[in-house]
Structure 1
Amino acid sequence: MIRLFNAFILLCLSQSALAVDIQPNTLYPKVQLDTSMGKIVVELDRTRAPITVDNFLTYVVKGHYDKTLFHRVIAEFVVQGGGLDLKQEERPVDAPIINESGNGLSNSFGTIAMARDQNPHSATSQFYFNVAENQRLDPSSRRWGYAVFGEVIEGEEVLTAMSNVETGHNAKLKWPDFPIKEIILEKATLLPRD
């Protein structure tokens, strides 16, 4: 009985350690996204967007992104995901984070940024890839922008293919630009330090 209890404690501790190991001392952590269309690897920039990177990595390590849908695809604009499970239901999220859009990173092709609503500080788990030069999403003296926090370093061709899928209106969610054939984020993995 004591051995079983000790094994249970060790299991809990190991899962707890896993939940908080987001490589806090790695300035440019890498995450692999295994999708139904292929693999994408992103390199994140903790020097420019530390809060956003830590937030994203926390969701990655907790498994939040595993078996989720890319639910918004607009050719020559964005590919967005990170919020819906395979039943098209929203996953629970942590508290919103502050907007780090003034960090010097631009919404250029192949970058990853945080999705949000009209409130500039409303980003939680949803992210998007820029599939065009979207500098209009950068901050200006008159508006908040959308926080870029990394870039695709592998799998650009996968991202391009994703951006060109057929989309339509989703009757259940009443959302436009929903892929007709599901694009699934099978697994997101924080890669080991170089």
Structure 2
Amino acid sequence: MARIKPKQLLIQSKTKKSPTRISYSTIVTWNLIVVLVVLSLYATYSHWHHRPILETEMDLLRTEHVGRSEDSTKTSRPSYAIIDTAKGSITIEIFKEASADVVDRFVSLCKSNHFKGIPFRRVIKNFVIQGGDFDFNGAAQEWILKAKANGENALSPKHEAFMIGTTNNPNNKGFDIFITTAPIPNLNDKLVVFGRVIKGEDVVQEIEEVDTDEHYQPKTPIGILNIMLKREL
């Protein structure tokens, strides 16, 4: 075998390709890419893993917010109304659990002095006294016949004497006030009760005793002078 001369070896070594070197910037770039991919995968996993918990917490917060809003609305309403009449004052306790639409409308009308000077249009002994915008249109006679019927209907607190309510009639654009003067059955479909008299029952009874005509209208006008709202007595 022929021996290669040193000069030829030197020439051959120069012609061989040296291994390619990876630059430092390339290594850093790839490391950053790997780190970003790992972080992205972790963030995606964490988001979907905790999403049911977050949704549950948000639902609870919404429920609490709605509950607090309803509670704050109820607590912001006045608890009492004082009806001043020519015969004296009648203090009404407004039920907290009464129809919100009815109570809010009553409160709004009181604040705008809507009831100031409105007369008691019907006074029916041992039944109701009525004031406000509504016209009976013959309904009073129908109620009286039912009230005098010898039924055995159980009476609820809504049917007791000295309860205050308004007509259960969505077509009535006004607002009438009824104060019962005796326990009356079958009123659920007639009145929306939203309070009760806690002081001034004697005034209610005095109004009940006024002389009326055949249509139950007082012969001597008597009405509401004003209604004042109060949070506390």
Query: How high is the TM-score relative to the length of structure 1?
Result: 0.65
Q: Identity of aligned pairs, percent?
A: 24
Q: Which segments of 5 or more consecutive residues in structure 2 lack a partner in the other structure? A: 1-72, 135-155
Match of 1:188 in 2: 227
After superposition, what is the alpha-carbon deviation per residue over 1:44-92, rounded to whole angstroms, capped at 9, x for unaligned?
11313222111111111110001110010000011000228xxxxxxxx
Q: Find the aligned partners of 1:65 and 1:133 in 2 and give their Cα distance.
A: 26
Structure (1/2) with the larger strand percentage: 1
Do the aligned residues in 1 keep the contact of 2:164 with 2:177 (CA within 8 Å)? Answer: yes
Structure 2: distance between partners of 1:145 and 1:83: 16
Question: How many residues of Structure 1 are paired with residues of Structure 2 in the alignment?
Answer: 139
Moved over 6 A (4+): none
Q: Which is helix-richer, 1 or 2? A: 2
The 3 A distance-change label for structure 1 pair 28 and 189 is closer
Task: Specify which of 193, 204, 209 is matched with residue 148 of structure 1.
Answer: 193
SS at match of 2:119: strand
On the 8 A contact 2:103/2:194 being kept in 1, the answer is: yes
Report the AA paired with residue 167 of structure 2. A
Q: Distance in 2 between matches of 1:27 and 1:63?
A: 17
Find the residue that maps to 2:164 and give its secondary structure: strand
Q: Give structure 1 stretches of 5+ with no counterpart.
A: 1-22, 85-103, 139-143, 170-175
Partner of 1:13: none
Supply the RMSD in Å over aligned alpha carbons.
2.1
- Residues 48 and 105 in structure 1, CA contact (< 8 A), matched pair in contact too: no
Aligned with residue 133 of structure 1, among 153, 176, 183: 183
- Contact 2:77–2:231, Cα closer than 8 Å, also in 1: no
SS of residue in 2 equivalent to 1:168: coil
For residues 185 and 111 of structure 1, the distance between their equivalents in structure 2, rounded to whole angstroms, comes to: 17
Contact residue 27 and residue 45 of structure 1 kept, 8 A: no
Query: CA separation in 2, counterparts of 1:187 and 1:167?
Result: 23
The question of whether the paired residues in 2 share the 8 Å contact of 1:107 and 1:135 is answered with yes
- Equivalent position of 2:104 in the other structure: 54
